[in-house]
Chain A
Amino acid sequence: KQEVTQIPAALSVPEGENLVLNCSFTDSAIYNLQWFRQDPGKGLTSLLLIQSSQREQTSGRLNASLDKSSGRSTLYIAASQPGDSATYLCAALSGYSTLTFGKGTMLLVSP
């Protein structure tokens, strides 16, 4: 059974810092790995999706990498802003449609 772990559980940084969120998964047989953002009381916003054949994806200040063999993914946020404050979830897709989520990293960026 796939298990997804995210470290750290919470992170507080001053505005402008670059930061890295970590995600690890136990079963490397994944189709893709996806990073989401969730604001309090809200649904999920998809940030980046990395196919199993890819090593990284970039969107603006966000860069996500994937190392299937080691079961790890990282989300890099450059020049963090207060608007980046949210919970970030990673999810690994196994089988046809089994999406397993981590518990998330709660990020607070202070002005």
Chain B
Amino acid sequence: GAVVSQHPSWVICKSGTSVKIECRSLDFQATTMFWYRQFPKQSLMLMATSNEGSKATYEQGVEKDKFLINHASLTLSTLTVTSAHPEDSSFYICSAILAGISYEQYFGPGTRLTVT
């Protein structure tokens, strides 16, 4: 149980375009989902916290107009990187909390974004 998927697993896009990444909780309802970014040989850095039906909370230094997060249902959150630039190339990982059960976060497999 507690499986989180991400789609796509990798994506290449041209500079200036937008790309959407999906995060789904497959077998549970997630009131809260998190988006992390990981640069090579660096740790995971929290970008934003996404609560179902409300606006996401962004960490300091993360541009909310550039990284659009939508948490429209209890099983789906999306991250859209708008007007992508090469410096946005990174590994994006989402996680989800099992609503009302515990604080443990279940992680998705990640999405590798390369902006050319």
Whether a CB of chain B sits under 8 angstroms from the CB of A57 is no
Nearest A-chain residue to B41, judged by Cβ: A103
**A-B interface contact total, Cβ < 8 Å:** 47
Nearest B-chain residue to A6, judged by Cβ: B43
Determine whether the beta carbon of A97 is less than 8 Å from that of B97.
yes
Main secondary structure of the interface of B (DSSP, over half): strand
Residues from chain A with a CB closer than 8 A to the CB of B44 are: 44, 89, 91, 101
The proximity string for A residues 30-52 relative to B, scoring 1 for CB distances below 8 Å and 0 otherwise, is 01101010000111101001000
> Known contacts A42-B109, A42-B110, A44-B93; is A101 also within 8 Å of B43 by CB?
yes
**B residues contacting the other copy or chain, number (CB 8 A):** 23
Q: How far is the CA of A31 from the CA of B6 in the complex (A)?
A: 27
For the complex of A and B, the 7 pairs showing the least CB-CB separation, nearest first, are A43-B109, A101-B43, A43-B110, A44-B107, A103-B43, A101-B44, A43-B107
